[in-house]
Chain A
């Protein structure tokens, strides 16, 4: 029971982190395969 709970929480936390990371990449200008296209804001112009 406890194990299940830990795992589920772990997955949720990771999933949220992954989603945020994808969102950041999108704002960052799409970066994929080693290239970045167009930044939205000076603050985000980072990889």
Chain B
């Protein structure tokens, strides 16, 4: 009996693409806590749920195919499982790919912690006419096996309940299973362990266990340590060495892996019926999407559709936001006036805060659609295909197709894109990708494109904005090519990526993902942009003689005028633009909110606001070409403060961060220069 209100910790582990995250989310909802494992850059996701009187703390471990010590993710997972911090492990397996998923299961069993196997995606198994003997499987593995479907939300309660109560099941009575034959081995381990190796290896294991028991009497689960020593696992060999050179005469890892797979084949043969019914839909879709010639054009087309949706649906929703902001400003204006509030403060509120923050909020719909589309592509399984499609080009640039995925993520936000470069093991490649990724046009720049494209290019606004994304790709590829030419070192990058079956993305997963992004956007608006707007208002309304309504007398104007010579040759020689661009280092959206404050346009994203702005800009000689140059410059110049901080953390050096910022500035200036002068000639 479990006493009232006890706490237990359950860890979730499984292969990538096995639906583990969907299952985890089904229990935790959006109440996730995302952090890092201390000291390493591996993500840790936690949540909590209750099962009757039991408080269950859930931890989602990184998706992995095995638990060796070759990558940080595996080490972290392994350490966590061995520690006292977790009571039970739920091993999530894709039931439609049982053969491969069971490898991790066997490794988990050897770790000695209570394990429950969750057979996920049972709905797919049924649909394909496959059958799994869910009575025989637990017998062969010696652990409870629960069929679930995270998408259809079946089996969830049973799984949680079994896992919670399995915690106390460490003695052999609940791990009984029956093999169909008796081993000739002198120690019949079949009653204790699911995975029994060949006699030769079992003998060695016994010898090593003997030595371990003598040398390290305080350990538990000697069998696992013995197996690891036979595999010459780096971490274990260093921490718990034994002196048995005749026993550990070579590395037995391959033998052990092979024997595990032999056992898995035996299990699958007995337990799985109709295993070859594959997903016809995925085959057909892949024939088109990963086509030799059409793969890339289709990809570009998909990206075009994404941006088309971002613009049209985004704009349609935006109408409501604009109406809202408009009303707020008018009401506020009237209210403040009748309350007799000081005129300076009024200006701060309306021309500063509402203009700045409000201006940014109106772009929320566009951002929302963009992230929704990216989530859809990722969850459906298409992103993995993109790595394959781009491998040809990427390898010519000295990178693996896998490196393209962080770059696509960069279309959303540079920060997670740079972090995603961790998946590349080669340090050299990681730095290359970190240098290139900021050139990918992040979502924060979208408001700039939308605003200026619609102002100066009217009907062709969408085409112009799409062209920014194309320029972004081209510049990134060119930079990569140049780096590759200069740095001819033979880079060893290995494209090795699983292509999961296509699936209709789970709306729940997408909703949680998109909500996180929206929360971030709103937080940014309420903090960084708020402060930047106030700061901007201050330097624009105060000059050497105090408060002034004549902006050209303000501090901002002074600063701006100093910078104009730098921007003149690239078509941006306007002090207001200079000030906006400097402010844009805090967050790219600030360029737009600054313009709202700089040019005194309250509802900048509305038809009227834009016309006003075009007029004002026209008066100082800022036209179509200048707008295009502005967009190009914003696309390429220094990334925002958050991205810079991320680069510094991931690269581990402030110097590298400065270098990359400087590099981007140079490239931005150079490209804009070319664009401007070519434009003048046309």
**In-complex A–B contact (CB below 8 Å):** yes
Interface residue ranges, A against B (CB under 8 Å): 1, 3-4, 7-8, 11, 14-15, 18-19, 21-22, 26, 29-39, 42, 45-47
CA distance A33 to B442 in the complex (A): 10
Partner of B649, one of A19, A37, A46: A37
Q: Known contacts A4-B342, A11-B534, A22-B527: does B517 contact A34 (CB below 8 Å)?
A: yes
Q: Assess the B517–A15 pair: CB atoms within 8 A.
A: no
Q: Assess the B520–A34 pair: CB atoms within 8 A.
A: yes
Selected A-B contacts with CB under 8 Å, 21 pairs: A1-B342, A4-B342, A8-B345, A11-B534, A14-B530, A18-B528, A21-B523, A26-B645, A30-B646, A31-B520, A32-B646, A33-B517, A33-B520, A34-B520, A35-B413, A37-B41, A37-B646, A38-B36, A38-B649, A39-B35, A47-B33
CA distance A32 to B371 in the complex (A): 13
Across the interface, which residues of A come within 8 angstroms of B33, CB to CB?
46-47
Closest chain A residue, CB of each to CB of B524: A32
Closest chain A residue, CB of each to CB of B344: A4
Q: Known contacts A4-B341, A33-B520: does B527 contact A18 (CB below 8 Å)?
A: yes
A18-B528, A32-B413, A36-B43 are known; give 12 further A-B pairs, CB within 8 A.
A11-B534, A22-B531, A30-B415, A33-B442, A33-B517, A34-B413, A34-B416, A37-B415, A45-B38, A45-B44, A46-B33, A47-B33
Closest chain B residue, CB of each to CB of A39: B36
In the complex, which residues 621-648 of chain B have their Cβ closer than 8 Å to any Cβ of chain A? 642-643, 645-646
Closest chain B residue, CB of each to CB of A29: B36
Minimal beta-carbon separation of A8 from chain B (angstroms): 6
Across the interface, which residues of B come within 8 angstroms of A14, CB to CB?
530
Minimal beta-carbon separation of A13 from chain B (angstroms): 12
B496 at interface, CB cutoff 8 A: no
Q: Known contacts A1-B340, A37-B415: does B35 contact A7 (CB below 8 Å)?
A: no
Q: Known contacts A37-B419, A46-B35: does B531 contact A19 (CB below 8 Å)?
A: yes
Q: Assess the B340–A3 pair: CB atoms within 8 A.
A: yes
Interface residue range, chain B: 35 or more
B418 at interface, CB cutoff 8 A: yes
CA distance A38 to B37 in the complex (A): 9
CA distance A42 to B35 in the complex (A): 10
Across the interface, which residues of A come within 8 angstroms of B419, CB to CB?
35, 37
B320 at interface, CB cutoff 8 A: no
In the complex, which residues 522-537 of chain B have their Cβ closer than 8 Å to any Cβ of chain A? 523-524, 526-528, 530-531, 534
CA distance A7 to B354 in the complex (A): 14
Q: Assess the B340–A18 pair: CB atoms within 8 A.
A: no
Across the interface, which residues of B come within 8 angstroms of A29, CB to CB?
35-36, 649
Q: Assess the B34–A47 pair: CB atoms within 8 A.
A: yes
B516 at interface, CB cutoff 8 A: yes
CA distance A24 to B455 in the complex (A): 38
Minimal beta-carbon separation of B105 from chain A (angstroms): 30
Interface residue ranges, B against A (CB under 8 Å): 33-36, 38, 41, 43-44, 336, 339-342, 345, 348-349, 353, 412-416, 418-419, 442-443, 513, 516-517, 520, 523-524, 526-528, 530-531, 534, 642-643, 645-646, 649-650
CA distance A47 to B530 in the complex (A): 21
CA distance A46 to B419 in the complex (A): 17
CA distance A34 to B443 in the complex (A): 13
Q: Assess the A15–B531 pair: CB atoms within 8 A.
A: yes
Q: Assess the A34–B342 pair: CB atoms within 8 A.
A: no
CA distance A30 to B528 in the complex (A): 13
Across the interface, which residues of A come within 8 angstroms of B43, CB to CB?
35-36
CA distance A35 to B423 in the complex (A): 14
Closest chain B residue, CB of each to CB of A44: B35
Across the interface, which residues of A come within 8 angstroms of B528, CB to CB?
18, 22
Q: Assess the B650–A37 pair: CB atoms within 8 A.
A: yes
Across the interface, which residues of A come within 8 angstroms of B416, CB to CB?
32-35
Q: Assess the B36–A45 pair: CB atoms within 8 A.
A: yes
Closest chain A residue, CB of each to CB of B534: A15
Closest chain B residue, CB of each to CB of A41: B38
Closest chain B residue, CB of each to CB of A34: B516
Across the interface, which residues of A come within 8 angstroms of B34, CB to CB?
36, 47
Closest chain A residue, CB of each to CB of B519: A34
Minimal beta-carbon separation of B66 from chain A (angstroms): 25
Minimal beta-carbon separation of A36 from chain B (angstroms): 6
Across the interface, which residues of A come within 8 angstroms of B41, CB to CB?
37-38
Across the interface, which residues of A come within 8 angstroms of B531, CB to CB?
15, 18-19, 22
CA distance A46 to B340 in the complex (A): 44
CA distance A21 to B529 in the complex (A): 13
The 5 closest A-B pairs by CB, nearest first: A33-B413, A35-B416, A32-B415, A45-B35, A3-B339
CA distance A11 to B531 in the complex (A): 10
Q: Assess the B36–A7 pair: CB atoms within 8 A.
A: no
Minimal beta-carbon separation of A28 from chain B (angstroms): 8
Across the interface, which residues of B come within 8 angstroms of A26, CB to CB?
645
Minimal beta-carbon separation of A19 from chain B (angstroms): 6
Minimal beta-carbon separation of A12 from chain B (angstroms): 10
Q: Assess the B36–A32 pair: CB atoms within 8 A.
A: no
CA distance A31 to B279 in the complex (A): 38
Across the interface, which residues of B come within 8 angstroms of A45, CB to CB?
35-36, 38, 44
Q: Assess the A36–B36 pair: CB atoms within 8 A.
A: yes
Across the interface, which residues of B come within 8 angstroms of A34, CB to CB?
413, 416, 513, 516-517, 520
Closest chain A residue, CB of each to CB of B512: A34
Across the interface, which residues of B come within 8 angstroms of A38, CB to CB?
36, 41, 649-650
Q: Assess the B530–A15 pair: CB atoms within 8 A.
A: yes
Q: Assess the B413–A4 pair: CB atoms within 8 A.
A: no
Closest chain B residue, CB of each to CB of A26: B645
CA distance A39 to B646 in the complex (A): 11
CA distance A34 to B642 in the complex (A): 12
Partner of B345, one of A4, A37, A39, A42: A4
CA distance A14 to B531 in the complex (A): 9
Across the interface, which residues of A come within 8 angstroms of B412, CB to CB?
33
Partner of A35, one of B339, B415, B645: B415
Across the interface, which residues of A come within 8 angstroms of B520, CB to CB?
31-34
Q: Assess the A37–B527 pair: CB atoms within 8 A.
A: no
Between A3, A8, A31, A34, the greatest number of chain B beta carbons within 10 A of the residue's beta carbon is seen for A34
Q: Assess the B35–A36 pair: CB atoms within 8 A.
A: yes
CA distance A7 to B442 in the complex (A): 35
Minimal beta-carbon separation of B517 from chain A (angstroms): 5
CA distance A29 to B643 in the complex (A): 11
Across the interface, which residues of A come within 8 angstroms of B523, CB to CB?
21
